[in-house]
Amino acid sequence: MYIRNYHRRFNAVFFILLLLFIFCLARLLYIQFFRSSYLASIADKQHNLFVELEPRRGTIYDANMRPQAINLTVDSVFASPNEIPAKDKEAMISRLSPILRMDHSTLKDRLYRKKSFVWLTRKITPDQSEEIRKLKIKGIGFIKESKRCYPNSYLASHILGFAGLDNTGLDGIELVYDKYLKGEPGWAFFLRDARQKKLDLWEKMVQPKDGYDVVLTINEVIQYIAERELDKAFRATRAKGASIVVMDPHTGAILAIANRPTFDLNERHVSKDFMRNRAITDLFEPGSVFKIVTASAALQESKVTEEQRFFCENGAYKVANHVLHDHQPHGWLTFREVISESSNIGTCKVAQLVGANSLFRYIKLFGFGSRSGIDLPGEISGSIKEPRLWSKTSITAVPMGQEVGVTALQLVSAISSIANGGQLMKPYIVKEVRDRYGEVIKDFPPVCLNKVISLDVASRVRKILIGVVEEGTGRMAKIEGVSVAGKTGTAQKLEPNGAYSHNKFVASFIGFVPAEDPVLAIAVVIDEPRPYYFGGVVSAPVFKNVAVDALKYFKTKEPLVLSENQ
């Protein structure tokens, strides 16, 4: 009986063990043939760390290869919440919050997540990094990243734009040329030990491809001069805004663009109004500077001669149901004097000889009403009505810069057409794109958009504009020993009800120097200056100061390549 029971118990245990063995064998076979890939991937994740390798973003240089935007290596801070004891987290938050300048609730949210990795903040300053390291907090680590830096802070801010935390361009040249600057990221699989500590070994690696460098046409010194003088006028006149554009009239290369108000490129928390590139985004009625178009059209169409006389009605001229006034009464003036004295009535009579359709054609030839195609974001086309939409009084308004909307960039392009002999050049701000070894990947030669007027007419208009500065409304732009050609403008702004304001003006001056052999064309526009508001009083001195110092720089800083044909 005992032996029989023993055999039963033995067989029962044997069958149980056999079933367990078969089950284990089946499980192993299932894992081997059906779950091997999944488990291998888990093992890879435990022992292999995928890391994206950030490329070096290209440097932005000025025309003389001075860096304007560079990359610096900085620390980014991360935490491993799963490794930090819950009892230590509140104290950690209190210590980190003032250093990282983050509020308590944000840090708490990140540190109480059930994760092995979470960013606290990225791309901190060296001082912040040093303070955190001194705390020696367990569960806090650092990763080296690349941060975009602008060594000249405010200088050329509206041109350069800026890049975001991930080194992607967000505005300005950084945005337009992002495909060249950003490069291509690489990657690597680093080995980790059982404690998840990264080893300095990798299984596979693809090196990142660094971004290309961009060389601007901007000259850092000219840019500084332009910004300095514009800022002085902006503050002195308590203006709402201001812009200046400096161009090489022969090529269209932009040497400087500045706006006020402005902002520090290294500071992201600024008003959008400060970040706006007013020189290409702001529309305004130009006033009398627009008379260069009327004058050029009249001479090109042989409707007038320089000494032809016009009666300026002693300051009041009725057209349809509108009475046109001059800023001061004039009797008989020659055509040359009509422009130099900026007579509205004389200009209107000249425009009536030219005709609406012909005048409109020259307006378009000078580039108004169209985008120039400059390589900056946000450019507008301006506003020009076709003659079929003109009213009976438009022929008195358009020739003197009313009922049209322009930008500062369009004005400097227009005056450059007269300076260079009659060609409208496409404004451009990037000279070339280079690789890290200095090899040119892409260059940007000058482009002529239109033949606006003949060389002879351009020369005749130039002489008239010299008279504006020597004897007319632009006397405050006169430079001792240097011939200057230019035109003043004072435009009333429109009120919300459509009427012209009597206390809000746009003061402007456009010109080029030296008049007989121009190297600089400059447009200065100041929005709502006070208490003085005439372009010849407010904007002309800015032109003069920029031109004087720029010419001194060109003379003393040899050799200096202004443009490809100089």
* Whole-number Å distance between alpha carbons of 470 and 450: 30
Residue-level pLDDT at 469: 97
The proportion of the chain whose per-residue pLDDT surpasses 90, expressed as a percent, equals: 61
The answer to whether 274 and 445 are in contact (CB under 8 A) is no
242: nearest Cα among 219, 220, 226, 222: 226
Q: b/e string for 314-342 if b means 16 or more Cβ within 10 A?
A: ebebebeeeebebeeebeebbbbbbbbbb
Burial class of residue 111 (count of CB atoms within 10 Å of its CB; 0-12, 13-18, 19+): buried
Dist CA 49 CA 51 (whole Å):
6
Tell me which of 137 and 426 has the higher pLDDT: 426
As a whole number, mean pLDDT of residues 244-254 equals: 98
Give the angle subtended at the CA of 154 by the CAs of 148 and 160, to the nearest 5°.
Answer: 55
Which of 463 and 208 is assigned the larger pLDDT? Answer: 463
The more confidently predicted of residues 315 and 192 is 315
Burial of 206 (0-12, 13-18, 19+ CB in 10 A): exposed
Cβ-count burial of 2 within 10 angstroms (0-12 exposed, 13-18 middle, 19+ buried)? exposed
Q: What angle do CA 394, 397, 403 make, to 5 degrees?
A: 80
Which residue reads 């000025």 in tokens? 62
Whole-number pLDDT of residue 212: 95
Q: How far apart are CA 305 and CA 292, in angstroms?
A: 15
Does residue 268 have a pLDDT over 80? no
Quote the pLDDT of residue 561. 41
- pLDDT digits over 187-212, tens only? 666 555 555 454 444 456 667 888 99
CB 448 within 8 A of CB 456: no
The partner residues of 504 in beta bridges, in order of sequence, read: none
The tens digit of pLDDT for each residue in 293-311 reads: 999 999 999 999 999 999 9
Segment 522-534 shows an average pLDDT of: 96
Check 288, 340, 342, 394 and give the catalytic one. 288
Q: What are phi and psi of 323, to 5 degrees?
A: -105, 120
- pLDDT over 50 (residue 559): no
**Nearest-angstrom CA–CA distance, 542 and 546:** 6
The span from the CA of 454 to the CA of 300, in Å, is: 7
The pLDDT of residue 205 is: 63
pLDDT bucket at 564, cuts 50 / 70 / 90: very low
DSSP 8-state symbol, 428 = B
What is the distance between the alpha carbons of residues 444 and 212, in angstroms, rounded to a whole number?
15
- Helix (H/G/I), strand (E/B), else coil: 87: helix
Q: What is the reported pLDDT for 199?
A: 45
Burial of 355 (0-12, 13-18, 19+ CB in 10 A): middle
Residue 112 pLDDT exceeds 90: no
- In 10 A of CB 412, how many CB atoms? 31
Cβ proximity of 160 and 265 under 8 Å: yes
Between residues 561 and 231, the one the model is more confident about: 231
* CA R_g for the chain: 35
End-to-end CA distance of the chain: 122
pLDDT above 50 (res 317) = yes
Give residue 315's pLDDT: 85
Which range is least confidently modeled, 11-15, 225-229, 402-406?
A: 11-15
Distance (Å, rounded) from C-alpha 245 to C-alpha 227?
A: 10
pLDDT grade for 258, boundaries at 50, 70 and 90: very high
Q: Report residue 359: phi and psi, to 5°.
A: -60, -45
Our answer to whether residue 288 is catalytic in this structure is yes
User: Residue 507, Cβ neighbours under 10 Å: how many?
Assistant: 29
Greatest CA separation found in the chain? 147
Cβ–Cβ under 8 Å, residues 260 and 360: no
Q: How far apart are CA 534 and CA 305, in angstroms?
A: 28
pLDDT at 107: 85
* Residue 474 near residue 486, CB atoms below 8 Å: yes
Residue 288 has pLDDT above 60, yes or no: yes
Helix (H) or strand (E) holding 507: strand 500-513
pLDDT tens digits, one per residue of 71-109: 888 888 888 887 788 888 888 888 888 888 888 888 888
Mean pLDDT, the chain, integer = 88
